[in-house]
Amino acid sequence: MSKLCGLNVVQLREELQKRSLVTSGNKEVLVARLREALIDEGKNPDEFKFDGADEDNEISTGTFTTAKMMELLFSMSTEIKQQSERQTEELKQIKEQSER
């Protein structure tokens, strides 16, 4: 279990994705967004401990399994696809507005 300040960018994005929040931005932006979400959930962001946030330790000790890697890759590919779809829709809207 890790606290908010101990999460890396991948972990921050995973936590934001679990909450259906925007996952783009640098680490500072992601931390601020997740901090705000925790407050909205009635949780203390300075004390809240995240489950499964010790994957980095698993990787360094060799206990990170193929299944976990596949799960992470699937999660990342899903996020990339969703972002791509959002950006495509935004570009369509911009194009439509510019043609008016």
Which residues are registered as beta bridge partners of 50? 2
Instruction: Tell me what the mean pLDDT of segment 70-94 comes to.
Output: 92
Locate the domains of the chain by residue range.
1-64, 65-100
pLDDT digits (tens, 9 = 90+) for 14-67: 999 999 999 999 999 999 999 999 999 999 998 988 876 555 555 545 666 777
Q: Which residue, among 88, 92, 69, has the nearest Cα to 80 in the 3D structure?
A: 88
Token pair listed for 57: 């330790």
